C-alpha cells in the first residue's frame, strides 16, 4: 500500500516568532528568538538608568559649585526735622566741633557812560600795610592820619586803626588800611610806594613805624568829565558784586577737598567803600572798579553729620551714618554784622531742614560673623546689628543648613536709599 507522505510528516512547533521578510520571500515573515528580545530591552533600560544617575550627579555637583549665601539688607533710616543751633571753633585741634575758613580775593570792573559834563576832582585811592617795629605795645592811629609817600605826596588813612606791637618772635606788628590822596588829580596815582607817618617826624617812632602800599594807587582825576548819576553807580556796583561773587564762589567750590562741605549760605563777600572806585576819564566815561574778598565756612561732612545726629537723636551711639541731602540744609550765621571775617576765631550758627539719616552697614564684618554659622543662627547674628532694619537671606543649594566657610561665598547687598 502506498504511503501518503504528507500525512506522515509531523509539524514541529518552535518559539520563533514571525516577522516580515519580504526581501527574501516576497512578503513572508522571519522569526526572532524571545531571549534576544529580552536582552535588547534590558540593555535599553540600563542605558536610561545610567543616564539618569549621571544627570542627578551632575546637578548635585553643580549645586555645590555654585553654592553660597546672598543677603539683601535694608539699612536703618530716620527722617528728622532739624532746626538746631551749633557752635564751632576755627581749626580746632581739640574734640570741639570746628570749621575751616576759606579766603579768596578778586576784582571786577566796567565802564559806564556819564551824563552832563562838569568839572570833576577825584582823589586817588589805595591800600597800605602799616608796620610797628617800635615796641610790643599797640599804637592807635586816628582817621586821616597823614602818610608821606616816597613820591613826596601826602596821603591820609580813611579810618581809625590800631597797629599791633612787635610779636613774640620779633616780627613787627601790622595792619591793613585804605588811604586816599590829600589832594585830587592824577598826580597822586602811583605804582606801589613806601610811606612814613608824617606826624612822627622828629621822634624815635618816625624810623620804626612805616608803611608799604598793597598794589597801585589809582583813581585820581581832575578836569572836565561827564558825571554818572548815583543810581547808575549803585546799579553798576550791584552788578559787579554779583559777577565777582559768582566767580570767586566757583573758584572756591573747585578747590574744596573731598569730604568737606560748604553751604551755599555760608559764604560772604566783603566789599567796603574803600574797595569801590569810580574813575572818570576825558572821554566822558567812568570806570567802576570793585575789589572784594570771599569768606566761606568749611565743615568736615562726617563730623558735622555725627554732631547733628548726636544733638537730635537720643539713642545715637556714634555709629557710621550719612545724610544724602545734607547740602540742602539752610545755614544761617548768628550775629553776622558783628563778625570780623579776617580774624574770626569761633562762630555760632543754625542749621534747618529735613535731613534723612542713614546708618551704614559694615559688610565685611557682617559676612565674617556669619561664616560657618547655622542657618537657624541668622537672626541671632542679625540682632547684633541695630543699624540694619531688615534682611532677606537666600542660601544655595536650598537644602544646605549652614553658611559657607569662606567670606567670598557670602554676597551682601545693601539697598541704600538715594
The answer to which of 116-120, 202-206, 333-337, 377-381 has the lowest mean pLDDT is 116-120
N-term to C-term CA, the chain: 119
Local structure of 362: helix, strand or coil: coil
Quickly count: other Cβ atoms within 10 Å of residue 160's Cβ.
12
Q: Is the pLDDT of residue 2 over 60?
A: no
Taking the C-alpha atoms of residue 273 and residue 283, their distance in angstroms, rounded to an integer, is 25
Please name the residue ranges forming H helices in 276-370: 301-312, 363-370
Distance separating alpha carbons of residues 229 and 307, to the nearest angstrom: 51
**Tens-place pLDDT, residues 401-412:** 899 988 889 999
**Omega cis (within 30) before 368:** no
| Cα angle 155, 161, 162; round to 5 | 125
pLDDT value at position 262?
95
The distance from CA 404 to its chain's CA centroid, rounded to whole angstroms, is: 38
pLDDT at 347 over 70: yes
Of the pLDDT bands very low, low, confident and very high (cuts 50, 70, 90), residue 9 is: very low
Give the DSSP letter of residue 166.
-
Q: Within 13 Å, how many C-alpha atoms sit on residue 249's CB side?
A: 15
State whether residue 316 is helix, strand or coil.
coil
Residues 6+ apart with CB under 8 A from 277: 125, 218, 219, 287, 288, 289, 290
pLDDT tens digits for range 262-297: 999 999 998 877 778 888 777 778 889 998 999 999
Which pLDDT does position 401 carry in this prediction? 86
pLDDT in tens, 350-362: 999 999 999 999 9
Instruction: Tell me if 268 sits within 8 A of 336, measured CB to CB.
Output: yes
Predicted confidence at residue 222, as pLDDT, reads 87
* Claim: this prediction has a pTM higher than 0.85: no
Q: Which tens digits make up the pLDDT trace of 141-180?
A: 999 999 999 999 999 999 999 999 999 999 999 999 999 9
d(CA 163, CA 147): 14
Confidence of residue 66 (pLDDT cuts 50, 70, 90): low
Amino acid at each position: 500500500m502506498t504511503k501518503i507522505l504528507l500525512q506522515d510528516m509531523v509539524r514541529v512547533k518552535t518559539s520563533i516568532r514571525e516577522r516580515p521578510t519580504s526581501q527574501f520571500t516576497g512578503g513572508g515573515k522571519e522569526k526572532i528568538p524571545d531571549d534576544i528580545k529580552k536582552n535588547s530591552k534590558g540593555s535599553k533600560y540600563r542605558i536610561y538608568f545610567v543616564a539618569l544617575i549621571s544627570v542627578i550627579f551632575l546637578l548635585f555637583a553643580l549645586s555645590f559649585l555654585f553654592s553660597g549665601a546672598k543677603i539683601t539688607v535694608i539699612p536703618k533710616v530716620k527722617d528728622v526735622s532739624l532746626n538746631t543751633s551749633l557752635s564751632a571753633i576755627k581749626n580746632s585741634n581739640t574734640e570741639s566741633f570746628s570749621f575751616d575758613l576759606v579766603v579768596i580775593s578778586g576784582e571786577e570792573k566796567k565802564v559806564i557812560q556819564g551824563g552832563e559834563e562838569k568839572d570833576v576832582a577825584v582823589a586817588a585811592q589805595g591800600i597800605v600795610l602799616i608796620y610797628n617795629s617800635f615796641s610790643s605795645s599797640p599804637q592807635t592811629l586816628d582817621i586821616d592820619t597823614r602818610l608821606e609817600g616816597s613820591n613826596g605826596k601826602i596821603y591820609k588813612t580813611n579810618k581809625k586803626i590800631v597797629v599791633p606791637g612787635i610779636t613774640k618772635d620779633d616780627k613787627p606788628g601790622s595792619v591793613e588800611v585804605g588811604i586816599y590822596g590829600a589832594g585830587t588829580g592824577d598826580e597822586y596815582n602811583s605804582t606801589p610806594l613806601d610811606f612814613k607817618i608824617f606826624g612822627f617826624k622828629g621822634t624815635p617812632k618816625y624810623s620804626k613805624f612805616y608803611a608799604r602800599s598793597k598794589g597801585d594807587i589809582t583813581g585820581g582825576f581832575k578836569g572836565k568829565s561827564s558825571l554818572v548819576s548815583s543810581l547808575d553807580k549803585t546799579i553798576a556796583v550791584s552788578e559787579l558784586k554779583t559777577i565777582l561773587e559768582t566767580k570767586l564762589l566757583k573758584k572756591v567750590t573747585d578747590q574744596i577737598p573731598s569730604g568737606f562741605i560748604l553751604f551755599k549760605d555760608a559764604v560772604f563777600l566783603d566789599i567796603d567803600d574803600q574797595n569801590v572806585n569810580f574813575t572818570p576819564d576825558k572821554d566822558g566815561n567812568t570806570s567802576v572798579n570793585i575789589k572784594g574778598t570771599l569768606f566761606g565756612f568749611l565743615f568736615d561732612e562726617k563730623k558735622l553729620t555725627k554732631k547733628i545726629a548726636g544733638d537730635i537723636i537720643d539713642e545715637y551711639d556714634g555709629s557710621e551714618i550719612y545724610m544724602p541731602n545734607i547740602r540742602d540744609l539752610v545755614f544761617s550765621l548768628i550775629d553776622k554784622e558783628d563778625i570780623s571775617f579776617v580774624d574770626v576765631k569761633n562762630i555760632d550758627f543754625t542749621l534747618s531742614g529735613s535731613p534723612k539719616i542713614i546708618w551704614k552697614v559694615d559688610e565685611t564684618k557682617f559676612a565674617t560673623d556669619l561664616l560657618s554659622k547655622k542657618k537657624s543662627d541668622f537672626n541671632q547674628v542679625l540682632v547684633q546689628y541695630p543699624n540694619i532694619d531688615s534682611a532677606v537671606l537666600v542660601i544655595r543649594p536650598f537644602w544646605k543648613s549652614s553658611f559657607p566657610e569662606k567670606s567670598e561665598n557670602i554676597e551682601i547687598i545693601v539697598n541704600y536709599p538715594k
